Amino acid sequence: MISGTVIIATEICKGCELCIASCPQESLGLSTSINRKGYRYATLLRNNCTGCVNCALVCPDSAITVYREIKSTKRQSQSAQPTVATQTA
Amino acid sequence: MSTTMNGTMEIVYEKPKTLTDNPTHYCPGCGHGVIHRVLMEVINEMGIAEQTVGVAPVGCSVFAYNYMNIDMQEAAHGRASAVATGVRRVLPDKFVFSYQGDGDLAAIGTGETIHTINRGENILMVFVNNGIYGMTGGQMAPTSLCGMITSTTPYGRDEHFIGHPLKITEMIAQLPGAYYVARHSVHTPAAVRKLKKAFKASFESQKEKKGTCFIEVVSNCPSGWKMNPLEANEWMEKNMFPYFPPGDIKLPATMK
């Protein structure tokens, strides 16, 4: 399975939980601490993220950046050429 | 931010450059944020940020110009399409869009909306329909559903007294100036992807000067509906979609 991860801008997040409901892997949850605005923010609970981008698509505050593992064949070609194609869904 | 992480991970999704870093003033779970982002993503991917002019409305999205990192103009209440007409006439080669809510486009701006589309102005009109006046405290809008409880209809909207919800999208689809009319939503990842395609098709058609593209986005208003965001999306699917069904309403032959 392809592995991925998300980085959530915790100070931007308003804890609406839409990303949590959209995650097919159930990787996301709310934090136990609060951010500066007073919201419990979304956070990655398990590291079974596949980088499917669903959470970022429904995030109203664009707080989520999604990373996905580079396939080994692609990684070799990239080491020769450092340009990275940013694919957006 | 770098595009890779430790050399093994690459970015597959990030906030588009056409959105500013300002945190939005929208309530948690509000659809406006998603619609802003999808619109700006399309502009970013098409590389037309320097050639696009947006017109912001009055309503919750009144500060859209604070979040969209492109040239924006604020319009008087309901008159975004009229201002967009002016922008279009002066700058015929630019991409122009107006962004309005239901209290703006379907209530005070009904006249401007109908006549802009009747003239077939070559603009994209984004219509965010959440069935309520969100900004002013959840009053009844022309698109509020029958029986819907709002702060001005505490016993529910009585269609015999106030009339039926206005299906303005179906109405304007009858006009010859309308080129592409569709209704979408942003409550699921699949719906967001569909909306993105619709925005892209609309901007593509502007290049060919085809006429007005009108995209309605059925959205939520967790605060106005007095629900949490997840309940609001569920309520929207259950109650809004039967009256405002998503799908293409007027599809030009070239897009079929």
Interface test with A, best of B13, B14, B17, B199 (most A CBs within 10 A): B13
Q: Does B134 touch chain A (CB under 8 A)?
A: no
Total-model pTM? 0.92
- Do the Cβ atoms of B14 and A65 come within 8 Å? yes
- On whether residue A32 sits in a domain, the answer given is yes
Mark the ranges of chain A whose per-residue pLDDT is less than 50. Answer: 82-85, 88-89
- Token couple for B86: 């002016």
The backbone torsions φ and ψ at residue B214, rounded to the nearest 5 degrees and listed phi first, read -125, 115
Looking at chain B, how many residues does it have?
A: 256
Domain assignments of chain B as residue spans, ordered by start: 25-249
Give the model confidence (pLDDT) of A24-38 as tens digits: 999 999 999 999 999
**pLDDT at res. A2:** 85
Question: Over the Cα atoms of chain B, what is R_g?
Answer: 18
Q: How confident is the model at residue B8 (pLDDT cuts 50, 70, 90)?
A: confident
CA angle B136, B148, B184 (to 5 degrees): 80
- On whether residue A74 sits in a domain, the answer given is yes
**pLDDT at res. B188:** 96
Looking at chain A, how many residues does it have?
A: 89
**Which of chain A's residues have a Cβ under 8 Å away from the Cβ of B194?**
none
**Which of chain B's residues have a Cβ under 8 Å away from the Cβ of A51?**
12
**pLDDT at res. A1:** 78
* Cβ-nearest to B12 among A17, A60, A66: A66
- On whether residue A21 sits in a domain, the answer given is yes
Give the model confidence (pLDDT) of B52-90 as tens digits: 999 999 999 999 999 999 999 999 999 999 999 999 999
- On whether residue A40 sits in a domain, the answer given is yes
Is the pLDDT at B130 greater than 50, yes or no?
yes
* Distance set, CA B51 to CA A86, B91, B169 (Å): 23, 10, 27
Total number of domains in chain A: 1
Instruction: Report whether B159 contacts B179 (CB < 8 A).
Output: no
Instruction: Report whether A14 contacts B28 (CB < 8 A).
Output: yes
* Distance set, CA B80 to CA B11, B97, B101 (Å): 36, 9, 10
Interface test with A, best of B1, B6, B12, B184 (most A CBs within 10 A): B12
- On whether residue A71 sits in a domain, the answer given is yes
- For residues B161 and B8, give the distance between their C-alpha atoms in angstroms, rounded to a whole number: 63
Residues 6+ apart with CB under 8 A from A1: A50
Q: Residues B25-249: name the CATH superfamily.
A: Thiamin diphosphate (ThDP)-binding fold, Pyr/PP domains (3.40.50.970)
DSSP, residue by residue, chain B: --SEETTTEEEEE---TTB-SPPP-SPTT-HHHHHHHHHHHHHHHHT-GGGEEEEE-SSGGGGHHHHB-SEEEE--TT-HHHHHHHHHHH-TTSEEEEEEEHHIIIIITHHHHHHHHHTT-S-EEEEEE-SEETTTTSEE-TTPPTT---SS-TT---HHHH-PPP-HHHHHHTSTTEEEEEEEE-SSHHHHHHHHHHHHHHHHHHHTT--EEEEEEE---HHHHTS-HHHHHHHIIIIIHHHS--EEEE--GGG-
Helices within A1-89 (DSSP H only): 18-22, 54-58, 72-80
CATH assignment at residue A43? 3.30.70.20
**Which of chain A's residues have a Cβ under 8 Å away from the Cβ of B41?**
88
Instruction: Report whether B40 contacts B19 (CB < 8 A).
Output: yes
Q: Quote the domain boundaries for residue A34.
A: 4-80
Helix (H, G, I), strand (E, B) or coil at A8: strand
- Do the Cβ atoms of A60 and B5 come within 8 Å? no
A to B CB pairs, distance under 8 Å: 109
DSSP, residue by residue, A22-36: H-TT--EEEEEEE-T
- On whether residue A87 sits in a domain, the answer given is no
* Cβ-nearest to B19 among A15, A62, A86: A62
Give the model confidence (pLDDT) of B170-218 as tens digits: 999 999 999 999 999 999 999 999 999 999 999 999 999 999 999 999 9
- On whether residue A34 sits in a domain, the answer given is yes
Which B residues in the span 33-92 are in contact with A, Cβ-Cβ below 8 Å?
A: 33-34, 37, 41, 45
Q: Kindly report the nearest CA distance between residue A82 and chain B, in angstroms.
A: 10
- For residues B116 and B101, give the distance between their C-alpha atoms in angstroms, rounded to a whole number: 16
Nearest CA in chain A to B193: A89
Residues 6+ apart with CB under 8 A from B215: B124, B125, B126, B127, B181, B182, B183, B184, B195, B198, B199, B202
Residues 6+ apart with CB under 8 A from B243: B145, B165, B167
- For residues B198 and B165, give the distance between their C-alpha atoms in angstroms, rounded to a whole number: 25
